[in-house]
Amino acid sequence: MQAARKDDIVAIRDELAAFNRSYSEAHASQDFDRIASLYSDEAVFVSSGRPLIRGRSAIASMLLEPPESEMVPIVFEAGDVWESGDLVIDVGTYVVSGQQEHRGKYVVVYQRQADGSLRLLVDAPTSDT
């Protein structure tokens, strides 16, 4: 995969920051339909201890499962970013705030849509705590 130019990386990072804010806001307000809309129809969610969850509707169903506790703020920070064709890969970190702070890492693959927007194609979070 060929590395993107420096100016392109800055633009992609700005785009990912906006995407991550949108996800975080939807999560904080428990707007699961909005979260699901951020995934492509063919998306795959990869999580430890669970089978692969394939497709936007299956991911939406997973999101609707009763949470173990109240929803708390989550903040994503893009890390290493690559872009090639209609794919963007981000290896970053996240922090979930609450009574106890929870940190983790993620690998996500975004797919650029015909309208230029990004949708999650692969979402693979891992927990540090």
Q: Which has the higher per-residue pLDDT, 2 or 119?
A: 119
Q: Are 52 and 124 in contact (CB under 8 A)?
A: no
Instruction: Inform me whether the pLDDT recorded for 8 exceeds 80.
Output: no
Instruction: Inform me whether the pLDDT recorded for 70 exceeds 80.
Output: no
**Is domain 6-127 classified as CATH 2.50.20.10?**
no
pTM of the model: 0.85
Q: How many CB atoms are closer than 10 A to CB 16?
A: 21
d(CA 45, CA 121): 8
Instruction: Inform me whether the pLDDT recorded for 21 exceeds 60.
Output: yes
Q: Token match 């309208």: residue? A: 115
Q: Which has the higher per-residue pLDDT, 118 or 68?
A: 118
Q: Which element (helix H / strand E) includes 104?
A: strand 102-112
Name the maximum alpha-carbon separation found in the chain: 43
Q: Which has the higher per-residue pLDDT, 26 or 10?
A: 26
pLDDT one-digit tens code per residue, 74-129: 899 999 999 999 999 999 999 988 778 889 999 999 999 999 999 999 999 998 86
